[in-house]
């Protein structure tokens, strides 16, 4: 005879996993803000820039941002030469761990 499924515990496990993923996303976004130096901006300025980026409809501007972001993640920068301070591809530099959310 089959054992009945415990839907309540499965739903709780899924809810816990979703919460963990959301918390990880928040930490990753905080780390990205810190890694780009945007944490030095006033919160109002940062929020305004993000709102502008989120509502951008100009494809050329968006493509420019995408290329610059890809270069950031690949450790390339127009401001600094390639050197030992680069991060491996796909990683963010973290100062003392993850940023608090």
8 A C-beta contact, residue 94 and residue 35? yes
Listing DSSP states for 29-85 in one string gives HHHHHHHHTGGGS-HHHHHHHHHHHHT---HHHHHHHHHHHHHHHTT--SSS---TT
Q: Which are the contacts of 78, defined by CB distance < 8 A and separation ≥ 6?
A: 71
- The per-residue pLDDT of the chain, averaged, comes to 82
Note the pLDDT tens digit of each residue in 26-68: 999 999 999 999 999 999 999 999 999 999 999 999 999 999 9
* Mean pLDDT on 66-74: 94
CA-based torsion, 38, 39, 45, 51: positive or negative:
positive
pLDDT at 88: 47
């Amino acid at each position: 005879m089959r054992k009945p499924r415990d839907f309540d515990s499965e739903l709780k496990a899924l809810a816990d996993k979703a919460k963990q993923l959301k918390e990880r996303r928040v930490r990753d976004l905080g780390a990205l803000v810190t890694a780009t130096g945007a944490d030095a901006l006033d919160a109002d300025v940062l929020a305004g820039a993000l709102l502008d980026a989120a509502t951008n409809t100009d494809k050329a501007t968006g493509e420019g941002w995408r290329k610059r972001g890809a270069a950031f993640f690949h450790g390339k920068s127009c401001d600094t030469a390639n050197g030992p301070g680069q991060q491996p591809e796909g990683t963010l530099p973290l100062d003392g761990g993850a940023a608090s959310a």
